[in-house]
A and B are shown apart, each in its own frame.
Chain A
Amino acid sequence: MKYAITDKCVGCYACQLVCPSQAVYADPDVNGRFHIHSRRCTGCEDHYDAPQCASICPIEEAIVNEMNLPVNPQGSLTGIISPGAAL
């Protein structure tokens, strides 16, 4: 499984610091946005049980899997579920 970063990302660098494959890079054009290099990302399968980027990312819906589903859906990290959110 490969992962990608969405525009929810706040650019906190955490995923970049923990990625074992140096697959995370800062967007050269958009300040505070990060991306995952799809060819470099191994899904961490060879290293860890869980994708490291998604295990430390503090922002819900910032990291998605190949099916474009958020690894950390709304409410899963902060406990905050906004009333208007379609879940």
Chain B
Amino acid sequence: MERQSMPSTTQHAATRPADQVRHLLPKDIQQQIATHPCYSKQAHQYARMHLPVAPACNIQCHYCNRKYDCSNESRPGVVSRLMDSDGALKQFRSIKRRAPNLTVVGIAGPGDALANSQATFATLKKIRMEDPQAQLCISTNGLMLEHYASELAAAGVHHLTVTINCIDPAIGEQIYPWVYYDHKRLRGRAAAERLIQNQLAGLEAAAAAGMLVKVNTVLIPGINDHHIEQVSQEVRRRGALMHNIMPLISAAEHGTFFGIRGQRGPSASELEAARAISSQYMPQMTHCQQCRADAVGTLGGGCGQSEEPVVEHSYKVAVAGNGEALIQTHFGHAKRFEIYRFDKQQQQFIYLETRQVAQYCSGTHACPDDDSDKQLIIDAVADCQTVLCARMGIAPWRALEKLGVTPNVDFAFQPITEALASIAARIATPLTPGGNHEVCHY
């Protein structure tokens, strides 16, 4: 699966705008974003979680294949497991228990949060009742934003992301083939006009309601790359706080219109140039990567795919399970893995993220047959040093060892916390500190 990687150039660009963030933002807002890993580079010890409760979408983008998750918010080609609001609350509780640093809970898809307003608001309310401290955030294409802005603010949403790719309908009709609004499917210019008008009005309403609004723009060479300055100026005028210019992802195998047409994504320098233009008007958010609607984790390991081009110096343990406190799952039956990373300062394992095995189903695998299932499970833990489970067959055992992953069934039916403590005691050798593996999300 292809993934954006412009490691060095973006990292450079990141330092400059991060300073600007500090200069440009008033003190109280700085405080509000200080614990949000997606808004503040300083907040990377905090974890965030996206709850996949919003399957439907009300528009079509040419960089999206609706057989997969929303590619505004998610890496295309990865289907998340859907949840209802009760499932979302349960998931939140189980993560929060193990990751007290979980500060941000977001709804970003797999479709559009506001096209699924009932599920979205039900989830927001449940999370807020459970943990009034949790920072709630929403991502949307903006079509219904004006309609729901005050309700969102009332539900306690602080952070809002709206994807605005252009403010000119002539450009918009090259990006959005249709929009479903007011019980009709609009097409062509009319669709783009409606969407843009609603996005801008929605942005203004959200900012007026006191939410911190970030604008995402997908940079599409030849389509909106000459238009970034206008977008930036206009969204700034309407109250946006930050701009996140993201490169188009358009691999042909994702089956998107742009992918199939051979529309290329921007080069690292094109992206940097666009961000430089926009930075005249707004702080840039560059430490960010598209991530899935159900991502869970901290910045360092957040999106956590095994193919991530990130150099990890840290020791990671994967625990097979379904949220139980004991290690009781057979490796081959694992639906998900909790990933823990060894923290050098604290000399203990801290919870990093949960990986759904199904997420490793990436379209390139022929999915539903048995063999590829096994491969998916192995892929899900390939970057870890140790895998804890109750039992494991000999074939996956060998396959893992070949990858340098050590299977461990010694802790079968023992509490996860004890197993981790005992491994931590064993490996308490200091590792290289820090490491710049910043890979972020919204």
When the two chains form their complex, are residues A14 and B260 in contact, meaning their CB atoms are under 8 A apart? no
When the two chains form their complex, are residues B116 and A17 in contact, meaning their CB atoms are under 8 A apart? yes
Distance A13 CA – B184 CA, assembled complex (angstroms): 17
Partner of A13 from the list B116, B255, B257 (CB cut-off 8 Å) is B116
When the two chains form their complex, are residues B58 and A56 in contact, meaning their CB atoms are under 8 A apart? yes
Tell me how far the C-beta of A66 lies from the nearest C-beta in chain B, rounded to whole angstroms: 20
* Residues A14 and B62 in contact in the complex (CB < 8 Å), given A78-B257, A79-B257: no
When the two chains form their complex, are residues A17 and B56 in contact, meaning their CB atoms are under 8 A apart? yes
Distance A13 CA – B115 CA, assembled complex (angstroms): 10
A58 at the interface (CB under 8 A from B): yes
When the two chains form their complex, are residues B178 and A77 in contact, meaning their CB atoms are under 8 A apart? yes
Distance A3 CA – B185 CA, assembled complex (angstroms): 17
Distance A11 CA – B110 CA, assembled complex (angstroms): 12
Distance A11 CA – B67 CA, assembled complex (angstroms): 9
B183 at the interface (CB under 8 A from A): yes
A80 at the interface (CB under 8 A from B): yes
Q: Which residues of A contact B180 (CB under 8 A)?
A: 14, 18, 55-56
B111 at the interface (CB under 8 A from A): yes
Partner of B55 from the list A13, A48, A49, A79 (CB cut-off 8 Å) is A13
Indicate with 1 or 0, residue by residue over A46-87, a CB within 8 angstroms of chain B CB atoms.
001110100110110000000000000000011110000000
B66 at the interface (CB under 8 A from A): yes
B137 at the interface (CB under 8 A from A): no
* Residues A48 and B183 in contact in the complex (CB < 8 Å), given A17-B115, A58-B66, A78-B177: yes
A78 nearest CB neighbor, chain B only: B257
Q: Which residues of A contact B178 (CB under 8 A)?
A: 77
* Residues A13 and B56 in contact in the complex (CB < 8 Å), given A50-B185, A55-B184: yes
Distance A48 CA – B185 CA, assembled complex (angstroms): 12
Indicate with 1 or 0, residue by residue over A31-59, a CB within 8 angstroms of chain B CB atoms.
00000000000000000111010011011
When the two chains form their complex, are residues A80 and B257 in contact, meaning their CB atoms are under 8 A apart? yes
Sorting the interface of chain B by its residue count into under 10, 10 to 19, 20 to 34 or 35 or more gives: 20 to 34
User: How many residues from A make CB contacts under 8 Å with B?
Assistant: 19
When the two chains form their complex, are residues A12 and B184 in contact, meaning their CB atoms are under 8 A apart? no
Distance A13 CA – B84 CA, assembled complex (angstroms): 12
Interface residues of A in 1-45 (CB under 8 A from B): 10-14, 17-18
Distance A79 CA – B57 CA, assembled complex (angstroms): 18
Tell me how far the C-beta of B175 lies from the nearest C-beta in chain A, rounded to whole angstroms: 11
* Residues A14 and B111 in contact in the complex (CB < 8 Å), given A58-B60, A77-B60: yes
Partner of B57 from the list A14, A48, A78 (CB cut-off 8 Å) is A14
When the two chains form their complex, are residues A12 and B177 in contact, meaning their CB atoms are under 8 A apart? no
When the two chains form their complex, are residues B183 and A52 in contact, meaning their CB atoms are under 8 A apart? yes
Partner of A56 from the list B67, B118, B185, B260 (CB cut-off 8 Å) is B185
When the two chains form their complex, are residues B185 and A79 in contact, meaning their CB atoms are under 8 A apart? no
Indicate with 1 or 0, residue by residue over B293-308, a CB within 8 angstroms of chain A CB atoms.
0000000000000000
When the two chains form their complex, are residues A78 and B55 in contact, meaning their CB atoms are under 8 A apart? no
Q: Which residues of A contact B255 (CB under 8 A)?
A: 80
Indicate with 1 or 0, residue by residue over B246-261, a CB within 8 angstroms of chain A CB atoms.
0000000001010010
Distance A61 CA – B85 CA, assembled complex (angstroms): 30
Q: Which residues of A contact B184 (CB under 8 A)?
A: 49-50, 55
When the two chains form their complex, are residues B67 and A10 in contact, meaning their CB atoms are under 8 A apart? yes
When the two chains form their complex, are residues B183 and A12 in contact, meaning their CB atoms are under 8 A apart? no
When the two chains form their complex, are residues B111 and A79 in contact, meaning their CB atoms are under 8 A apart? no
Indicate with 1 or 0, residue by residue over B57-76, a CB within 8 angstroms of chain A CB atoms.
11010100011000000000
Tell me how far the C-beta of A8 lies from the nearest C-beta in chain B, rounded to whole angstroms: 10
Indicate with 1 or 0, residue by residue over B274-293, a CB within 8 angstroms of chain A CB atoms.
00000000000000000000
* Residues A12 and B57 in contact in the complex (CB < 8 Å), given A56-B180, A56-B185: yes
Tell me how far the C-beta of A53 lies from the nearest C-beta in chain B, rounded to whole angstroms: 11
Q: Which residues of A contact B257 (CB under 8 A)?
A: 78-80
When the two chains form their complex, are residues B55 and A12 in contact, meaning their CB atoms are under 8 A apart? yes
Q: Which residues of A contact B118 (CB under 8 A)?
A: 17
Tell me how far the C-beta of B353 lies from the nearest C-beta in chain A, rounded to whole angstroms: 24
Tell me how far the C-beta of B177 lies from the nearest C-beta in chain A, rounded to whole angstroms: 6
B112 nearest CB neighbor, chain A only: A14
Tell me how far the C-beta of A60 lies from the nearest C-beta in chain B, rounded to whole angstroms: 10
Tell me how far the C-beta of B133 lies from the nearest C-beta in chain A, rounded to whole angstroms: 31
Tell me how far the C-beta of A72 lies from the nearest C-beta in chain B, rounded to whole angstroms: 9
Tell me how far the C-beta of B72 lies from the nearest C-beta in chain A, rounded to whole angstroms: 14
B111 nearest CB neighbor, chain A only: A12
Query: Top 3 closest A-B pairs, CB basis?
Result: A14-B56, A58-B66, A56-B180
Some 12 contacts from A to B, beta carbons below 8 A apart, are A10-B67, A11-B55, A13-B116, A14-B57, A14-B111, A17-B118, A18-B183, A49-B183, A58-B60, A59-B66, A78-B62, A80-B255
- Taking A17-B115, A77-B178, A80-B255 as given, write out 11 further A-B residue pairs in contact, using a Cβ cutoff of 8 Å, ordered by the A residue number: A12-B55, A14-B55, A14-B56, A18-B180, A52-B183, A58-B66, A59-B67, A78-B60, A78-B62, A78-B177, A79-B177
